[in-house]
Chains A and B, each alone.
Chain A
Amino acid sequence: MKKFIAVALLTAGMGTVSQAHAHRAWILPSATVLAGDTAWVTMDGAISNSLFYFEHHPLNLDQLEIVDPDGEPVEAQNKASGKYRSVFDTELKKDGTYTFEIRYSGLVGMYKLNDKPVRWRGRADEVKDIPEDAKGLRLFEVDNLMQVFVTKGAPTYETFGTQGVGLEMVPVTHPNDLFAGEVSEFRFLVDGEPAEDLNVVLIRDGIRYRDQVDEIQLKTDAGGGISVEWETPGMYWLEAELEQPGTRSDTAKRRMSYSATVEVLPL
């Protein structure tokens, strides 16, 4: 049950950003551009209101997948979960771009059983297992994807494959080649098709030290593309979400979200 709660929190966090008390799920890498024969990155993962501060809940890393520049899976090392954050390390043995992602597709439900709130997670064919005396059942289909990219040596593009499910991002500008004063382009897909008119939000780190969140709001064009001119270097949290009628269950709405942490360097 503990795991279910964590996942539900994760999905809730990724789905409710625009609300007043937004919980954001994020991964913060120690570096995104590295050099040398071998290198290590360490990452924090958390769910919190403010970026990138640990203040609410650690990120569940059960679904974490890491892919090296050749497309081979890499095991996260030293995984740990604390009160407010999770951590893990990864050794980068190869030159090129590594992708770190947490992908979740399924159904999430909320109901009350004997007056106690229950969060549920499962597949469409498991909905029937929800107890009959569950009250106030609300079901959501969710397709959530969270990504971080890290490059040792020269950036590579070979591992940016998409699965055609939910919201996905296709880098036009390499996500480890972002520089202040330059324009970068990204494309978004929904179920593999260009995601037109999608709202994309970018939030720079260091919120605690300024009065306004200063989020950058963008809308995708007909091809699902956005272009952003970076004024200020920093770590940025990029997020987009979309709600549609459900496809896997008649009772559910479908909530999709994509988020990534990208670093913009000064030149």
Chain B
Amino acid sequence: MKLTGRTTLLALLLGSACVEAGELELEVEIPGMDVAEYHRPYVAIWIEDSKGRHQQNLSLWYDHDMRDDEGQKWLKDLRLWWRRSGRQLEFPVDGFSGATRPVGTHELVFDSNSSVIRDLPAGDYRLVVEAAREVGGRELLRLPFQWPPEKRQEIVQQGSNELGRIQLVVKP
């Protein structure tokens, strides 16, 4: 079979896509609190590069279904995310936003078919988790990882206020 330049290129692209396949498995713990007035935190999860530049939004948990979109008002309290991404977005955003989550550990999986990581160029990144709670505080954790993964990477950070244990597993 004679290969045209175009099919060769396609094969190369497919080949490299296979090599770069990987998966992100994330566990985010929302800690329980003994406070008089508790509201579930707003949480933004995104990928930044090693210079802090925003790459991809992975998840946004906020009061997305309040009357008159009143819940958008507090998105700016996710201060870093608001600056890096949120303030440029048109709401409601599709694909990565949803309701606030209760106390407990929440698992998120982004496999190689997921658009948010499929197009990520090779490099050093940080997964960022930022949480802000009404009448509460704010906390931000960064979990560095390499992409695409050559071997399994497991990164764990322990929050001290608004976030609990955050675990990121990056698999080839």
List residues of chain A with CB under 8 Å of any chain B CB.
33-37, 39, 151, 153-155, 177, 179, 265-267
Contacts and interface: CB of A to CB of B under 8 A. Distances in A.
Nearest to B88: A154
Contacts of B87: 35, 151, 153-155
B159 interface: no
B98 interface: no
A267 B79 contact: yes
Interface in B56-78: 68-70, 72-76
B79 A35 contact: no
A35 B80 contact: no
B53 interface: no
16 contacts: A33-B82, A34-B73, A35-B72, A35-B74, A35-B75, A35-B82, A35-B86, A36-B69, A36-B70, A36-B73, A37-B91, A153-B88, A154-B87, A155-B87, A179-B83, A267-B80
The A contact surface, by secondary structure, is: loop
Given A153-B87, A154-B87, A154-B88, A34 B79 contact: no
Interface of B: 68-70, 72-76, 79-80, 82-83, 86-88, 91
A37 B68 CA distance: 8
Nearest to B68: A37
A132 to B, nearest CB: 59
B88 A33 contact: no
B interface, over-half SS: helix
Contacts of A34: 73, 76
Contacts of B86: 35
Given A153-B87, A154-B87, A33 B72 contact: no
Nearest to B78: A35
Contacts of A33: 76, 82
Contacts of B68: 37
The 7 closest A-B pairs by CB, nearest first: A35-B76, A36-B72, A36-B73, A35-B75, A154-B87, A37-B69, A154-B88
B72 A265 contact: no
Nearest to B77: A35
A154 B82 CA distance: 9
B88 A35 contact: no
B111 to A, nearest CB: 31
A35 B73 contact: yes
Contacts of A151: 87
Contacts of B72: 35-37
A107 B21 CA distance: 72
Nearest to A34: B76
Q: Which of B73, B75, B76, B80 has the most CB of A within 10 A?
A: B76
A34 B77 CA distance: 9
Contacts of A155: 87
B68 to A, nearest CB: 7
Nearest to B52: A267
A33 to B, nearest CB: 5
A155 B80 CA distance: 15
A37 to B, nearest CB: 5
Given A36-B70, A177-B83, A179-B83, 14 more contacts: A33-B82, A34-B76, A35-B72, A35-B73, A35-B76, A36-B69, A36-B72, A36-B73, A36-B75, A37-B69, A153-B88, A154-B87, A265-B79, A266-B79
Contacts of A37: 68-69, 72, 91
A6 B119 CA distance: 61
B141 to A, nearest CB: 14
